[in-house]
Amino acid sequence: MEITAQQLAAMVHGTVEGDGNVLINNYSKIEEATQGCLTFLANPKYTHYIYQTQASAVLVSNDFTPEHEITATLIRVEDPYKTLADLLNLVSSQMAPVKKGIEQPAFISQDVTVPDDAYVGAFAYIGKNVTLGKNVKIYPQAYIGDGVTLGDDVTIYPGVKIYHGCKVGNRCTVHAGTVIGSDGFGFAPKADGTYEKISQIGIVILEDDVEIGANTTIDRATMGATIIHRGVKLDNLIQVAHNVEIGENTVMAAQVGIAGSTKIGHNNMIGGQVGFAGHITVGDNNGIGAQSGIPNSVGSNQRLLGSPAINALDFARQNVYFKRLGQMSDDIHQLKKQLESIKTSK
């Protein structure tokens, strides 16, 4: 479908600067865009691309001031990144096939009511006393254990396993291969050196608008609940241990590991491969860089890097010193030689 820059600007409440009649029929990254593409500029690191991009139109912020001539049409909006996200979501909703009905073979317990607008894929299993909300989509080979609750507009992709008793709120998405509600890692050491398993009798709760990436695991609580609060976004391959609590609108990149009973606040941004020790608390509005180690509790509004993690600016300074260690070692060696020479000459 083609649309003019002027028409698109009207859709996103933006203003056009340049040829409003230029046609847009595709989307692309700014460094790869060709004629007919819409792209965006949100990160200042990519500003130089706007002067050479072949895109027909570029979403930019209202306060963007070009330093050189730009051939593309500019569409000024308040937030280019969010605007592009809204447009891509619109395109995705129009392109995605509408799934409804029950494919066979699938197992659905007799006491389960499947809404008319729901979709259950082939080889899916839905256990006893499961509650399904409106417009639920359960893709093939998913397992929904006894007593699970799925809210409205929930999407469960292929191969997801949700163990008994867990609760999933409205508008949640769980991607392929994820396991929700497996046993927490609880074992008591015995005198003979073996371990006795501690029964994990809690559940997992996903509140509304949570998205869980592929092959992520969220363990059930020993007692009570492991809770993923509203708006949390977890990437692929994340481990969330028993009794962990993740605050609203926190986002985590791939391979984060969170040990048991750790409480993480709201609006945190956590990079890939960050490791959290157990039984600690993390405040709100923190930014934690990739591969950081968090062994102790953390307050709010901090920027952390390293393992163990420290203030990001301090980490950057220490990195500079670390890179100079070789030269500093050589300098010290030379000074020692000079001192020995002075001693000898006396």
76-90, 240-254, 291-305: lowest mean pLDDT where?
A: 76-90
Summarised one tens digit per residue, pLDDT across range 149-197 is: 999 999 999 999 999 999 999 999 999 999 999 999 999 999 999 999 9
Examine the fold and report which residue of 95, 121, 147 is the final residue of a domain before the chain moves on.
95
| Cα–Cα distance for residue pair 256/216, rounded to 1 Å | 10
178 shares its domain with 300 = yes
Set 13, 48, 242, 333: catalytic member: 242
In the chain, which residue ranges form alpha helices assigned H by DSSP?
5-11, 80-95, 312-323, 325-345
The pLDDT value recorded for residue 223 is: 96
The pLDDT value recorded for residue 346 is: 63
Alpha-carbon dihedral angle through residues 184, 190, 193, 197, given to the nearest 10 degrees: -20
Residue 8 DSSP symbol: H
290 shares its domain with 222 = yes
The pLDDT value recorded for residue 203 is: 98
Q: Which range of residues forms the domain containing residue 194?
A: 101-313
- If you average pLDDT over residues 47-70, what whole number do you get? 95
Contact partners, residue 4, CB within 8 Å, separation at least 6: 20, 21, 22, 23, 24
Residue 47 sits in a domain of what CATH number? 3.40.1390.10
Confidence tier at 249 by pLDDT (50, 70, 90): very high
Q: Taking 70 as the threshold, does the pLDDT of residue 36 lie above it?
A: yes
Please give the mean pLDDT across all residues of the chain.
94
265 shares its domain with 226 = yes
Provide the token pair at 62. 């209202």
- If you average pLDDT over residues 27-42, what whole number do you get? 95
106-115, 267-276, 299-308, 333-342: lowest mean pLDDT where?
A: 333-342
Cis check for the bond before 140: say yes or no (omega within 30 of 0). Answer: no
253 shares its domain with 295 = yes
Summarised one tens digit per residue, pLDDT across range 59-98 is: 999 999 999 999 999 999 999 999 999 998 888 777 767 8
Examine the fold and report which residue of 95, 111, 135 is the final residue of a domain before the chain moves on.
95
Annotated catalytic residue 242: yes
Query: Nearest to residue 246, comparing CAs of 236, 254, 255, 233?
Result: 233
- Burial label for 141, CB within 10 Å (0-12, 13-18, 19+), is middle
298 shares its domain with 219 = yes
Does residue 232 come out as left (phi exceeding 0), alpha (psi in the -120 to 50 range) or beta? beta
175 shares its domain with 309 = yes
The pLDDT value recorded for residue 221 is: 97
Provide the token pair at 52. 């050479």
User: What is the value of pTM for the model shown?
Assistant: 0.85
First to last CA, the chain: 89
- If you average pLDDT over residues 273-290, what whole number do you get? 98
- Only one residue has tokens 């600690």, namely 280
Q: Taking 70 as the threshold, does the pLDDT of residue 290 lie above it?
A: yes
The pLDDT value recorded for residue 89 is: 85
Helix (H, G, I), strand (E, B) or coil at 5: helix
Provide the token pair at 74. 């500019």
The pLDDT value recorded for residue 118 is: 97
The pLDDT value recorded for residue 74 is: 97
The pLDDT value recorded for residue 268 is: 98
Using only C-alpha atoms, the chain has a radius of gyration, in whole angstroms, of 27
Contact partners, residue 72, CB within 8 Å, separation at least 6: 18, 50, 53, 55, 56, 57, 58
The pLDDT value recorded for residue 329 is: 82
Summarised one tens digit per residue, pLDDT across range 140-151 is: 999 999 999 999
- Only one residue has tokens 């340049």, namely 18
318 shares its domain with 291 = no
The pLDDT value recorded for residue 244 is: 98
253 shares its domain with 286 = yes
Number of domains in the chain: 3
Confidence tier at 339 by pLDDT (50, 70, 90): confident
Helix (H, G, I), strand (E, B) or coil at 17: strand
Summarised one tens digit per residue, pLDDT across range 92-139 is: 777 767 889 999 999 999 999 999 999 999 999 999 999 999 999 999
159 shares its domain with 82 = no
- Burial label for 74, CB within 10 Å (0-12, 13-18, 19+), is buried
The pLDDT value recorded for residue 37 is: 95
274 shares its domain with 255 = yes
The pLDDT value recorded for residue 243 is: 98
| Cα–Cα distance for residue pair 220/213, rounded to 1 Å | 18
309 shares its domain with 170 = yes
Helix (H, G, I), strand (E, B) or coil at 328: helix
Residue 143 bridge partners (DSSP)? 125, 161
Residue 226 bridge partners (DSSP)? 204
270 shares its domain with 250 = yes
User: Measured between alpha carbons, how far is residue 142 from residues 139, 172, 223 in Å?
Assistant: 6, 15, 26
- If you average pLDDT over residues 221-243, what whole number do you get? 98
Residue 228 sits in a domain of what CATH number? 2.160.10.10
| Cα–Cα distance for residue pair 47/191, rounded to 1 Å | 64
Query: Nearest to residue 125, comparing CAs of 106, 102, 101, 105?
Result: 106
